Structure 1
Amino acid sequence: MNGVRHADLPLHYGKVPDWLYKRMGLLGGAIIEAVAQEYGKGAVVSRLSDPFWFQTLGCVLGMDWHSSGITTSVMGALKGAINPRHKELGIYVCGGKGKQSTQTPAELLVFSDKTGLDGKELVRSSKLTAKVDNTAIQDGYQIYLHTFIVTDEGEWAVVQQGMNDDNGMARRYHWHSAQVKSFVEEPHTFIYGQNQGQILNLTDVFANTTKTAMLEITKERPVDVLTEVSKIVMPRHHELQAKDVDLKRLGSVLTLAHNTDLKNFEELLMLEGVGPRTIQSLALVSEVIHGTPSRFSDPARFTFAHGGKDGHPFPVPLKVYDETIEILKNSVEKAKIGNTDKQQALKSLTKVAQQLEKDFIPDEGAFETVIEHERNNSYKYSGRTVMGYAKPPKGQLTLL
């Protein structure tokens, strides 16, 4: 039986600024390549089908930590980063938002011609996933984004999103070919959205009576309703609060970055000379790449890598972001020629942070202090939001 998770995302409108979107593509592409290099392209598809990991990825890339915009911007950035290198990566992204979603069949057929895959079967899978989520599960959400991620071996994932104008929320649906035993009985990997009360869910295994009646009318094979296993609901409040993150996990990363001498850890010596603030970001990026699924239950924690474009929890530190991109890309490129020292050092950041986590005692009262510190020092790292660049705190002089 396939597992199902629900999550809701408050609808946010507006455009992702170019300065962030470009970096999202660079860092997102590097993360995807690092995952593929270490764990295989199948792992990329599997992780994208996990809404917790997906939300975490959006947070570490500097998007609004809880909004519907994460889905559109992340998939758009990944498509731009992955597709030009599909021969090397063995992964391709089809579809998108609005009219782009209608191009999915044509894009799948082109990719199939290049790889020898069964294009018609992939197109069928794409259409059925959209039909199930848009028609068979009548939960009040209208699909407006459909993306289909496929490897050159035929493994695929679907990430699509519907909106509900009545409640101002979006629902994201996740599919994974490895877990879809049938399109007609509990087919999803996850649904990321808020409980809307009673819905007509024709993918339920107990919906046979209803389906039989509808079959007489539609003459189409019906589908069964989802069984909800767990759900994640992103709150409407913009400001990040202590309750939104695992303070023990966050505290261990901050301790590693700011209160730990890397010389004491042989496996981290390759990162000696990297500043504490960049180590903080790298540790969180490393966890996205190497962490186990249970580590992504609090996606908002990963905003402490690169903040958020709306300033929550703090402005995007462009200098740190760019250094993180450079270090990660460099480690991936060196690994291609057999030099894995830096790649292993980045991987070790996750291990060391989790070692520190065992003895760390969180202080909820320090959470706001940490955010205030980030905001006060944001100007040093060229912190930026959609409103402009961060400025020094009032009364603080800067050197000319």
Structure 2
Amino acid sequence: MAKRAGSADLPLHGGHVPAWLGERMTRLGTAISEAIVLEYGRDELLRRLAHPFWFQSFGAVMGMDWHSSGITTSVLGSLKRGLAPLAGELGIHVCGGRGKQSRRTPDELNAVGERVGLDGGALGHASRLVAKVDSAAVQDGFDLYLHGFIVTDDGRWVVIQQGMNDARGQARRYHWLSENVTSFVEDPHAAIDGREQGTIVNLTDRRADASRRGQLALLADLGPDGVVRELARLDPPAPRQPTAQPLLPHLVMPDHHDLRAEDVVARRLHGNLAAAAAQGPEDFAALLMVPGVGARTVRALAMVAEVVHGAPCRFSDPARFSLAHGGKDGHPFPVPIKVYDKTIGVMKSAIVKAKLGREEELAALRRLDQQARRLERHVTGPSVEALLAEERAASHSYGGRTVFGDAPPPDEDAARSSG
């Protein structure tokens, strides 16, 4: 009753999320999640979380390092903190996490089951099976270290887990969704795809059914020691051509930290910029009456609106969404704290009013996204390099901040460069 929904390969990064960013990620991630549930329902939020490209874009728009493995941990942690107080209202529960937290997942699911009337034991069993498939049945060189399980009150769920390959400096994220599967051990993933890692052993493939049954029979007849002796007598098998399989969404993020023009679909970026410059649809101007909400904030909101409303094909360039709020390591530019806080304020205001039956602001965000898609067909705009230079020059005025400190004033920055 679950299927692999996609996967992602990411550069393996260490470090931590500073408190000033983690707290904002929690508020913005929660607001975006609430907006999706209000607009499309909680099942749609699960589908989004199960899509590797959308998930990466979600983390990038929140100011996390746009290409790194850290997005997985930080996004799940933000949602766990932010959605917990809303669990009774939204009916969404985030369990698990990294390391020790991942091992507590079955206990957390039992607690959720007791509160809302689900079979927590069955959910815990599903959690263990999914982890076992991606760690044992599929041997692709990545050791699992993170397991997140998000479940709704009606028992639907998504699992996001991540493994690491220290030798290659890479992480691989696996997404599962509890829809349209008949077996955990026969083709739960429509495909497995990724960078060349050598031979992958996939005992969940339906073509491996005879192999699974044969292994059990061999173990019963010979015992473990006998199996080892038989293996030692075998010659290496002749290589076989793999049979084509349907492909799931598989995201591969580059190793470079700096954001480059080739990482972004220019026409989509120009559509975002043009919609923001035109202040979106005519009624979007009302948002500009909120103190401090200016053109730069509207530009960030255009990208947030796309995360809420965009179709799956819109997220093939997750790097573009880092142009909303930068990145904690300074790539593509320092996090503009003043802009970020205004974005959160607008989103929270729109959600609160929508819950009271006043949906004008949420509707304006929806139309902003629609206008960006219309404009991208024919508008042009600045290059990625020019946009980044402009953003970095204004970073100090936006309250720019990274893990290394506050962005310096332009004259001080220029003096450092010349020095």
Report the TM-score when normalising by structure 1.
0.92
Moved more, 194-203 or 285-294: 194-203
- 1:204-219 matches, within 5 Å, as 204-216=205-217
| Distance in 2 separating the partners of 1:375 and 1:67 | 21
Deviations 1:74-105 (A, max 9, x none): 10111000112200110001100000001101
* Whole-angstrom distance in 1 between the partners of 2:186 and 2:301: 41
Shift of 1:226: 7.8
- Structure 2 counterpart of 1:283, from 302, 310, 334: 302
Cα distance change, pair 323–389 in 1 and its aligned pair in 2 (3 A): same
- Name the CA shift for 1:327/1:161 in 2 (closer, same or farther; >3 Å): same
Deviation (angstroms), 1:173: 0.4
1:331 aligns with: 350
Q: Which deviations, in whole Å up to 9, do the C-alpha atoms of 1:287-306 show, x marking residues without a partner? A: 10111111111111000110
The 1:282–1:256 alpha-carbon spacing in structure 2 relative to 1, beyond 3 Å, is same
For the 8 Å contact 2:5–2:50, the answer to whether it is kept is: no
Alignment map for 1:1-400 (pairs within 5 Å): 5-188=6-189, 193-216=194-217, 228-258=247-277, 260=278, 265-273=281-289, 274-361=293-380, 366-394=383-411
- CA distance in 1 between counterparts of 2:323 and 2:305 reads 13
Distance of aligned partners of 1:195 and 1:36 in 2 relative to their CA distance in 1, 3 Å threshold: farther
C-alpha separation between the residues in 2 aligned to 1:323 and 1:362?
A: 25
Residue 195 of structure 1, CA deviation:
3.6
Measured in 2, the distance between the counterparts of 1:128 and 1:284 equals 36
Give the deviation of 1:396 after TM superposition: 8.5
Asked if structure 2 preserves the Cα contact closer than 8 Å seen for 1:50 and 1:174, the reply is yes
Question: Counterpart amino acid of 1:271?
Answer: L
Superposed CA offset, 1:37-83 (max 9, x none): 11111111111111111001000000001100000011011100011
Cα offset, 1:218, TM superposition: 6.1
Query: Aligned-pair distance for 1:215?
Result: 2.3
1:332, distance to aligned residue in structure 2 (A): 0.2
- Distance in 1, matches of 2:218 and 2:344, equals 55
CA offset at residue 230 of structure 1? 4.4
Shift of 1:210: 2.6
**Counterpart of 2:223?**
none
Equivalent AA in structure 1 for residue 334 of structure 2: P
1:395–1:157 Cα change, 3 Å = closer
Match of 1:222 in 2: none
SS of 2:15's equivalent in the other structure is coil
The offset of 1:269, in angstroms, is 3.2
Cα distance in 2, alignment partners of residues 85 and 192 from structure 1:
36
Inter-CA distance 252–121: structure 2 relative to 1 (3 Å threshold): same
Secondary structure of 1:373's aligned partner? helix
Q: Could you tell me whether the CA contact under 8 Å between 1:9 and 1:193 is conserved in 2?
A: no
CA-atom RMSD in angstroms: 2.1
Closer, same or farther: CA 346–392 of 1 in aligned 2, 3 Å: same
Aligned-partner residue type, residue 236 of structure 1: D
Distance 2:343 2:190 in 1: 31
Q: TM-score, normalised by structure 2?
A: 0.88
Q: Determine the C-alpha separation between the residues in 2 that align with 1:57 and 1:6.
A: 15
Assess if the C-alpha contact under 8 Å between 1:270 and 1:341 holds in 2: no
Contact 1:95 1:146 in 2 (8 A): yes
Q: Distance in 1 between matches of 2:246 and 2:311?
A: 24
Segment drifting more, 350-359 vs 129-138: 350-359
Question: Partner of 1:194: helix, strand, or coil?
Answer: coil
CA distance in 2, matches of 1:198, 1:345: 50
Give the SS at the match of 1:207.
Answer: helix
Q: Structure 1 CA distance, aligned partners of 2:82 and 2:4?
A: 30
Q: 1:237 to 1:379 in 2, by over 3 A?
A: same
Find the residue that maps to 2:114 and give its secondary structure: helix
Question: Displacement of 1:4 after TM fit?
Answer: 5.4
Residue type matched to 2:399 in 1?
A: S
1:214-248: CA deviation from partner (whole Å, max 9, x where unpaired)? 223567xxxxx986444221010000111111110
Paired with 1:189 and 1:339, the residues of 2 have a C-alpha distance of 42
In 2, the alpha carbon distance for the partners of 1:179 and 1:321 equals 38
Equivalent pair of 1:179/1:187 in contact (CA under 8 Å): no
Matched residues in 2 for 1:81 and 1:261: separation? Answer: 30
**In 2, Cα distance between equivalents of 1:190 and 1:35:** 28
Query: For the residues of structure 2 that align with 1:240 and 1:362, how far apart are their CA atoms?
Result: 17
CA displacement at 1:194 relative to structure 2: 3.0
Aligned residues between the structures: 387
- The 8 Å contact of residues 4 and 227 in structure 1, kept in 2 or not, is answered as no
Q: Which amino acid aligns with 1:242?
A: A
Q: Which amino acid aligns with 1:371?
A: L
Secondary structure of the 1:32 match is helix
Distance 1:108 1:376, change over 3 A: same
Give 5+ residue unaligned stretches, structure 1. 220-224
For residues 302 and 287 of structure 1, do their structure 2 counterparts lie closer, same or farther at Cα, with a shift above 3 Å needed? same
Write the distance in 2 (CA, Å) between the matches of 1:187 and 1:125.
Answer: 12
